[in-house]
Chains A and B, each alone.
Chain A
Amino acid sequence: MPVKSAQSSYRDRTHEFLNVAEGLKKSLNSTSNGHSSSSKPEGLRSAASIQSEFNKRASKIGYGIHQTSQKLAKLTKLAKRTSVFDDPTVEIQELTAVIKQDITALNSAVVDLQLVCNSRNESGNISVDTTSHSTTVVDDLKNRLMSATKEFKEVLTMRTENLKVHENRRQLFSSTASRESTNPFVRQRPLASKPGASASTTTPPPWGNGSTSSSPLFPRKSMDGDTQPLLQQQHQQQHQQMVPLQDSYMQSRAEALQNVESTIHELSNIFTQLATMVSQQGELAIRIDENMDDTLGNVEGAQGQLLKYLNNISSNRWLMVKIFFVLVVFLMIFLFFVA
């Protein structure tokens, strides 16, 4: 079992190893003894083989989790170290895809393992220790997988934040025509707000000097310059303040539509989860029903028995028979001793 020896450092698997060794020894012994008591060693062997099968799978899953956490550590390092210029986007994306695949595969493997464990617990012939051991192993694997998934999520959030920070820095230093227009604070300059011919399609933030970190979080999609006017106006006599709209009308509509769409997606998720939970609970209800039917049958049978008992006790037939026998016995003794 070379796979088992390459385990993560802190888990002590000598117990499982001993079990496997015992199982193998038993199977060797049974084959050498011939087929005398065939059922018993087969039963033992199957139990031992199931145990070793369980251990093999568990060890494989543990190894897989270990490897995934190593890859995750590498991904964290990559995500942390990004600078503005040489961004290893391709590697990060590849690594992310690989890790995601690994995590899903490990998830399904852990679920399989749990099924095996449960099915083995149903069949008899096992001790309490083995069941508790296998359940503990399965729970431990699940916990480790969950922590690995959480770390993965954190790394992804960190990566998106880094990307945002880079976007800000890029905004700060470069001012390409497609991205930014003139400084909105220069109110008195008459900007030609010609329809459809506006150079800047996304509008800059109205407050703050330049672009601070909060404003680039607004959607900066570039739209076709169809009817996307920059909204500025100057009016020197009228003491009016100009507030350029931070998003043009179409952008805000698009954003609202996307929000609606994502809300609907979340709703559909919630509905599926709800349906799953209700169907699972339906099984529980069926079990309860069966239990109650069994109870009813038992109680009715018991009631019948008690009724019969009552009849037997309340009738005098047995009593007369017993008195008759006692009288006969006394007569016999009397006759034997007197005569």
Chain B
Amino acid sequence: MKITALLVLKCNPDGSDPIILANASDVSSFGYFQRTGIREFIVFVGRTVAKRTSPGQRQSVQHEEYKVHSYNRNGLCALGFMDDHYPVRSSFSLLNQVLDEYQKSFGESWRTVQADVTQPWPYLTGALTKFQDPAEADKLMKIQRELDETKIILHKTIDSVLARGEKLDSLVEKSSDLSAASQMFYKQAKKSNQCCTML
């Protein structure tokens, strides 16, 4: 479950090529010589997908073994290159977060950008590493996972409580036997303590 790249682009409504605002990619899984090629490929595919994503729309496109998820919000488009196992919902919530963060840090200045921005945006690279685990991005998944763990723990607790109940049952029996035996003991002692039998 890997994210290969995250991009933020500005989409023009007139249909020209989108402009890259931020780019973070993790190409370490490829050979050294393929890396630049992969980066360009990511840029190109990202531009194409973003061009065809209309504002307010979410899309997922399958390309070879990657899924490209794109979310266009009022002309600002976020893309993620993920593999097939990454849950779709988490990827979209991740893209949401990226967009929110971008708007918070850059405000509206991105609207005036005309050429590709080449400086890296540290948040995006951090996000790329942090969100390799889909549970981080998607609170719902995290909650569901924790709830499932809690349920397992509770099942074990109930099993142990049942065992405890059985042991308590046996303890009750033993203690009642013990009290009966001690009562017999007392009676015998009292009986043998009677006077006038020592004759």
A288 touching B60 in the complex, CB below 8 Å, given contacts A271-B154, A277-B162, A302-B186 = no
B58 interface hit (Cβ, 8 Å): yes
A295 touching B169 in the complex, CB below 8 Å, given contacts A274-B154, A277-B158, A301-B186 = no
A270 touches B88 (CB 8 A): no
A270 touches B151 (CB 8 A): yes
Contacting B at CB under 8 A, from A226-269, are 227, 229, 231, 233, 235, 238, 240-243, 245, 249, 252-253, 256-257, 259-260, 263-264, 266-267
Measured CA separation A326–B167 after assembly (Å): 60
User: How far, in Å, is B168 (CB) from chain A's closest CB?
Assistant: 4
A305 touching B186 in the complex, CB below 8 Å, given contacts A240-B62, A252-B88, A292-B175 = yes
Measured CA separation A245–B182 after assembly (Å): 76
B141 touches A256 (CB 8 A): yes
Chain A's closest residue to B171 (CB) is A288
A-chain residues with CB within 8 Å of residue B88 when the two chains form the complex:
245, 249, 252
Measured CA separation A313–B161 after assembly (Å): 53
A294 touches B148 (CB 8 A): no
Contacting B at CB under 8 A, from A275-314, are 277-278, 280-281, 284-285, 287-288, 291-292, 294-295, 298-299, 301-303, 305-306, 308-309, 312-313
A240 touching B147 in the complex, CB below 8 Å, given contacts A195-B55, A271-B154, A298-B185 = no
Identify which of B23-31, B120-128, B187-195 touches chain A. Answer: B187-195
Binary interface profile of A, 296-339, with partner B (CB < 8 Å = 1, else 0)?
Answer: 00110111011011001100001000100000000000000000
A270 touches B61 (CB 8 A): no
Residue in A273, A281, A322 whose CB lies within 8 Å of B168: A281
B-chain residues with CB within 8 Å of residue A252 when the two chains form the complex:
88-89
B164 touches A295 (CB 8 A): no
User: How far, in Å, is B20 (CB) from chain A's closest CB?
Assistant: 19
B157 touches A274 (CB 8 A): yes
Interface size on A, residues (CB 8 A): 55
Measured CA separation A253–B141 after assembly (Å): 10
User: How far, in Å, is A180 (CB) from chain B's closest CB?
Assistant: 20
B104 interface hit (Cβ, 8 Å): no
Chain B's closest residue to A257 (CB) is B140
A298 touches B147 (CB 8 A): no
A-chain residues with CB within 8 Å of residue B141 when the two chains form the complex:
256
Residue in B143, B154, B161 whose CB lies within 8 Å of A278: B161
Give the interface SS of chain A, mostly helix, strand, loop or mixed: helix
A288 touching B168 in the complex, CB below 8 Å, given contacts A267-B147, A298-B183, A298-B185 = yes
Measured CA separation A253–B93 after assembly (Å): 10
Measured CA separation A301–B155 after assembly (Å): 47
A273 touches B158 (CB 8 A): yes
Chain A's closest residue to B148 (CB) is A263
A194 interface hit (Cβ, 8 Å): yes
A193 interface hit (Cβ, 8 Å): yes
A196 interface hit (Cβ, 8 Å): yes
A-chain residues with CB within 8 Å of residue B63 when the two chains form the complex:
240-241
B55 touches A302 (CB 8 A): no
Contacting A at CB under 8 A, from B113-154, are 140-141, 143-144, 147-148, 150-151, 154
Residue in A194, A243, A285 whose CB lies within 8 Å of B62: A243
Measured CA separation A178–B138 after assembly (Å): 31
A-chain residues with CB within 8 Å of residue B147 when the two chains form the complex:
260, 263-264, 267
Residue in A235, A238, A274, A322 whose CB lies within 8 Å of B158: A274
Measured CA separation A23–B188 after assembly (Å): 42
Measured CA separation A250–B78 after assembly (Å): 18
Q: Quick one: which of B67, B147, B186, B195 has the most chain A CB within 10 A?
A: B186
With A195-B57, A285-B168, A291-B176 given, can you name 8 additional A-B contacts, CB distance below 8 Å?
Answer: A233-B49, A233-B61, A243-B60, A252-B88, A281-B164, A291-B172, A292-B179, A302-B186
A–B Cβ pairs within 8 angstroms, 5 of them:
A229-B59, A249-B92, A308-B193, A322-B198, A322-B199
B contacts, CB < 8 Å to A: 48-49, 52, 54-63, 67, 88-89, 92, 140-141, 143-144, 147-148, 150-151, 154-155, 157-158, 161-162, 164-165, 168-169, 171-172, 175-176, 178-179, 182-183, 185-186, 188-190, 192-193, 195, 198-199
Give 4 closest A-B pairs by Cβ, nearest first: A291-B175, A298-B182, A305-B189, A243-B62
